[in-house]
Structure 1
């Protein structure tokens, strides 16, 4: 699952739809054209509302289904983030929300399998046991200070 506040829609790949036992006949029509990073467009196969349960968080979520190879099972975009008042943190790989108190959901520390290592971001997760040599670097800054406007 990928929480992406930059996405205007929630996306479900066809592979996830099949794993959930959802058939194409259960999808509502969608005329949505989804534009990706490469600026190429892809028409959604359809859309469906499912009850999404993540820890203590339950929400009926509208997903647009696409037939594409993705690095995620579900992409939760701005509609889901805003409806559920989510505060995501990519740095800490988690998100927080309020339901009778602040709740925190942690992300997967190993989001990729070896079979999925062709995805660009996988290199940051697959070989985490590899230790790289730490090289100390000394930086000497030279130059003049920029004068303040009031001087």
Structure 2
């Protein structure tokens, strides 16, 4: 748990127990925990008494629940679907992730793209590439895909230029990546 989350929960440094744990971050840097605390954690309908180690770092998360917590509570997590599931009274319970999980710390586009608002995104038209042969040299030929019966104004030609260099024309749209 980052120190900022600890303060938001109203926990003071005096309430922390000593911790000798050294934590290795995703950037391979190490940091010693400033203390630890045990909290009653409620996620959805799941209630568990959980031990948290406190670090003094800017993070893109509020809490990290490690493998021991997952095993103790018989939770199955899915990063792809941004949820986790567990069994309660013989029924499977699903808990979805936050819709806006990122804090003021920098986040990678690879993580953030799962949370981009699809209403504000422009569609990227993929291109199909075929291979054309000319004098035993291979030159790519781009064939844009039509979108809603609209055709792009430029297409690459399957002709080798006289100087032997192949020029690729940029499409008339700017790419915006969409996770599908």
For the superposition of Structure 1 and Structure 2, which TM-score range results when normalised by the shorter chain? 0.7 to 0.9
| Secondary structure in 2 matching 1:95 | strand
Q: Whole-Å Cα distance in 1 between the matches of residues 18 and 55 of structure 2?
A: 12
Alignment partner of 1:107 is 2:97: yes
Counting matched residue pairs gives: 127
Alignment partner of 1:41 is 2:30: yes
Q: Deviations 1:39-72 (Å, cap 9, x if unpaired)?
A: 2210001111000001110000000000000001
Give me the CA root mean square deviation: 2.0
Q: Is the 8 A contact 1:44 1:65 kept in 2?
A: yes
Alignment match of 2:72 (pick from 67, 83, 91): 83
Q: CA deviation at 1:112?
A: 2.8
Q: Whole-Å Cα distance in 1 between the matches of residues 23 and 14 of structure 2?
A: 21
Alignment partner of 1:133 is 2:121: no
Larger radius of gyration: 2
| Secondary structure in 1 matching 2:47 | strand
| Secondary structure in 1 matching 2:128 | coil
Q: Is the 8 A contact 2:58 2:105 kept in 1?
A: no
Aligned to 1:58: 47
Alignment match of 1:120 (pick from 95, 108, 123): 108
Q: CA deviation at 1:131?
A: 1.4
TM, length-normalised to structure 2: 0.64
Q: Whole-Å Cα distance in 1 between the matches of residues 17 and 130 of structure 2?
A: 59
Higher RCO, 1 vs 2 (CA within 8 Å, ≥6 residues apart)? 1
**Please, which runs of 5 or more residues in structure 2 have no aligned partner?**
132-180
With over 3 angstroms needed to count, the CA separation of the structure-2 counterparts of 1:123 and 1:87, relative to structure 1, is closer
**Please, which runs of 5 or more residues in structure 1 have no aligned partner?**
1-11, 141-151
TM, length-normalised to structure 1: 0.76
